[in-house]
Every structure is written in C-alpha cells, then in structure tokens.
Amino acid sequence: MWAMIMRRLSVSVISLALLVTLVFFMIHATPGGPAYSILGSHASPEAVAALNRQMGLDRPLLDQYGIWWDHLLEGRLGYSYIQHVGVSRLIGVYLDRTLALDLGALALAILVSLVVGLLQGYWADRLGGRIIGFLQIVFYAMPVFFTGILLIYVFSIRLDWLPPGGVGHPGWVGRLRHLTLPVLTLALPVSAGFSRYFGHQAREEYRQDYVRTARARGLSEWRIATRHVLRNAVRPFVTLVGMMIPVLFVGGVLTESVFNYPGLGWLLWRSALDQDYPTLSAITLLIGVLTILGNLVADLLNSILDVRVRYE
C-alpha cells in the first residue's frame, strides 16, 4: 500500500519536473527570445540587448533555469507585459470562473448520466437502449466547439433566449444565464462518456439475481432502480471522475474560447494568440499541475477504495 503510494507520488513528481522543464526550454527557444515579445518585433537590437541585460536573459541558460525553479517555488509567476499586471493576480480572477464552469458541467453530467445510464441498463437489448448507445457514440465524438457554436446559433442568434458569451454583470441571475450554454456544451461529451460507463454497469446489475428476486417480491421498478441497481452501479464512481478529468479540462479550454467566457482556458488561448509568454507559460503550468494533481488524487482514492473492497 505505502509502496504503491510512494510509486504513484514519484510519477507525479517526475511529471511536474518534466512539465516545468519543457515549458522553460520551449519559452527560451522562441525566435529572438522573450525580449522581442515584450518590445515588439521591430525593436532595435540595442533595446533588446538592454532589456535582456536588465531581465537577466543574457545569463547562461542553466542559471536562468535555476532561477526559474526558484521563482516558481516561491509562487512568483512573472509579469504579463501585454496586460500589464502580475500573472498571479490575473489567475486569481480567472480561476473561479473556470471552476464554476467545470464543476457545473461535471454536476450536470453526473445527473444526466445517472438517469440515462439507468434507462440504458433497463432497456438493455431493446430499441431504447440501442438509440441511447448510438447517441452516446455520436455525442462523444462531437467536438465541443461544434456543439457550442450550434447552441449559440440556435439559442442566441435565432431565438435570442440566452447570451452568446461573456460572463455578464455581477449577480447570480446574470451569471447563470451566461453559464447555461457553456455548461450544456461541456456537459454533453462528458455525459456521453459517463453514461456509457454507467449504462454498462447498470446493465450488468440488471442481470443479477437480486433484481429478479426483488421483482418476484413485487417491488416497483422505480424502487428497484433507485434502491438496488443505482446503489451498486455507482460504486466505481471515483474511477470515472478520474477518467473524465482530462476530458473536462481540455473541453473546458475549448468551451471557454467558443463562448468568450473569460476563464483560465480562455486566458490560455488569448495569451497564445497574443504571444504573451509569461501568462502563457504560467497558465500552461497551472493547468498542467491541476491535471497532474487531479490524476494523482483520483488514482490514490481509487486504490484506497480498492483495498477496502478487497478486504470487505
């Protein structure tokens, strides 16, 4: 058990080191170096040299690499020369919007896939189950940027029911209205993935003897579904959430960009387009660290639960 945890931790540490190193060396491989992205591509060589000296960019690469680590460990993420603000302050503003979107989509996806999965299990070999299975394949393959833009076209441009993007004014009604379409968009592929898995579990459960016994006892289908099948089918829940974390994060980046929803993913996209390297590298690191930690927590929880199940 402890050996497993240590092994898993060491993998995460290697991941983090790899991520930080990759980002550092790629940033320093930019044509002309970071100075050009700050001063613009028409800067004179003297100005570039002066800035390089001032920022320590003329020092040996390995020295800079050490300083990079020092700063990261102190939580100093650099300064955005495009937005003229410290990156750490930027991130604070954007992070909670991303969390609102991702957690909202996750909650919706779990809810939807519980219902759909149960129905799919119940209708296993009938037409209903087949249709659900087909829709799952289609929606899982559906790119979020296509779904998003279709929803915008229908609900914002044609019907004018919901705003096409942004976050809206403070106040929760406005925020909810602006969150509706992005959450739906992001929840769709996640629901397809979740419900496919749940559906499979539910189908297995419906084949068990206890379901037949419960039916023989005269329990209603509703009671069988909620009290028995659901309870057993949701067991591998943590595995599922762990598996879907990357889909959620990646989908979130694209969804935010489609809806101009200013969260971390949107900031990543804008800073990539503007070649705002300090912000870009900070966000890449942040999302990277979140993903690695998410995977780690899911894996650890999983193995802990697994052990408990084994000894039960």
Partner 1 sequence: MSEPARSRWGFLPLLRWGAFGRSWRAAPLVVTGLTLFLGLLAFSWLGPLVYPRSPYTIHPHALFRAPSVRHPLGTDDLGRSFLARMMYGGRPSLGVAIVGSILALLIGLAYGMASGLSPVWLDRVFMRILDAILALPTLVLMIFFAAIVPLRPLSLILLLGLLSWPGLARIVRNEVLAYKGRDYILAARQYGAGTGYLARTHLLRSMFPVVIVNATFTVADLILTLAGLSFLGLGIQPPEPSWGGLLGNGSNLAITGSWWLIFFPGFAILLAILSMNLVGQGLLNRLEGR
Binding site for partner 1 (CB under 8 A): 10-12, 14-15, 18-19, 22-23, 26-27, 29-30, 137-138, 140-143, 145-146, 149-150, 152-153, 157-158, 164, 246, 249-250, 253-254, 257-258, 268-269, 271-273, 275, 277, 280-281, 284, 287-288, 291-292, 295-296
Q: By C-beta, is 146 or 210 nearer to partner 1? A: 146
Q: By C-beta, is 261 or 277 nearer to partner 1? A: 277
Q: How far apart are CA 273 and CA 281, in angstroms?
A: 13
Q: By C-beta, is 176 or 273 nearer to partner 1? A: 273
* Cβ at position 226, least distance to partner 1 in Å: 30
For 100-111, b where at least 16 C-beta lie within 10 A, e where not — what string?
A: bbbebbbebbbe
3-state helix, strand, coil in the chain (%, to 5): 80, 0, 20
Q: Are 252 and 186 in contact (CB under 8 A)?
A: yes
Helix-then-strand count for the chain, H and E: 14, 2
Here the tokens at position 304 are 């802990």
Q: Which of 270, 90, 263, 251 lies closest to 165, judged by CA?
A: 263
* Cβ at position 87, least distance to partner 1 in Å: 14
Q: Which of 281, 82, 105 lies closest to 185, judged by CA?
A: 105
* Cβ at position 245, least distance to partner 1 in Å: 10
Q: By C-beta, is 37 or 225 nearer to partner 1? A: 37
* Cβ at position 223, least distance to partner 1 in Å: 32
* Cβ at position 283, least distance to partner 1 in Å: 8
Q: By C-beta, is 34 or 104 nearer to partner 1? A: 34
